[in-house]
Amino acid sequence: MIYIIDHNDSFTHNVVHQFSLYDEVECDNYNAISDSKLKKASVIIFSPGPGNPKNYPSSSKIYKKFKGKKKIIGICLGFQQILFCEGAKIVEQKKIYHGFQSNIQVVNNKSLFKKGKKFKVGRYHSLKLKEPFQIRNFEITMRCLESKAAMAFENKKDKIYGFQFHPESFLTINGNLLIKKILSA
């Protein structure tokens, strides 16, 4: 079972439908999380959402508790949430991407995806990862072709994955394939 933690977003149910193509999905609001569902889940997903990772201490707690024990995936705010828990700084960016379709590229040969491969993706983020960023086992695997901002990370050892863009958006081409590959990793 996949357990999606919803941060009050207007895109979370697109995520629910996307992941439901591959497994049973449960979804609860971040302030109404069930311990038994957390225990039962094989994958935990941190949804997109408004605001800053520091606004969601309960999600940080869940991440720290289950890191290395279950597969964890973060999308948009969820991507930032995981990096924030690992000590990264999440900062405002000059150019803001809301409802924006960008070209991104796989930039790392440690990725599940082939280095050099390009994707068209939908973005909805005000904040971004502050770089340089270096944490053991975490690799930045995709970047925006234009701004070079970090668009995905992978941690193969602990099976932790994050996307700054929205694989569930209609603006993302072949988003389902991305999810399928991450889930079967």
Q: Cβ closer to other proteins: 15 or 106? A: 15
Known catalytic membership, residue 146: no
Q: Cβ closer to other proteins: 107 or 179? A: 179
Known catalytic membership, residue 27: no
Least distance CB 100 / other proteins (angstroms): 6
Residue 17, φ and ψ in degrees, nearest 5: -65, -40
8 A C-beta contact, residue 149 and residue 107: no
Binding positions for other proteins, rule: CB under 8 A:
8-14, 16-17, 20-21, 49-52, 77, 92, 96, 98-101, 122, 124-127, 166, 169-171
Least distance CB 49 / other proteins (angstroms): 7
Known catalytic membership, residue 166: yes
Least distance CB 92 / other proteins (angstroms): 6
Instruction: Single out the catalytic residue among 85, 86, 125, 166.
Output: 166
Instruction: Single out the catalytic residue among 27, 76, 85, 144.
Output: 76
8 A C-beta contact, residue 106 and residue 113: yes
Q: Cβ closer to other proteins: 68 or 92? A: 92
Angle between helices 57-66 and 77-85 (to 10 degrees): 60
Look up residue 176 and give its two tokens.
Answer: 């389902």
Q: Cβ closer to other proteins: 127 or 142? A: 127
Least distance CB 104 / other proteins (angstroms): 16
What is the side-by-side order of every strand in the sheet holding 2-6?
25-29, 2-6, 43-46, 71-75, 160-163, 150-155, 139-144, 90-106, 118-129
Which residue type, as a one-letter code, is found at position 161? Y
8 A C-beta contact, residue 143 and residue 104: yes
Instruction: Single out the catalytic residue among 85, 86, 125, 168.
Output: 168
8 A C-beta contact, residue 168 and residue 175: yes
- Please identify every residue annotated as catalytic: 76, 166, 168
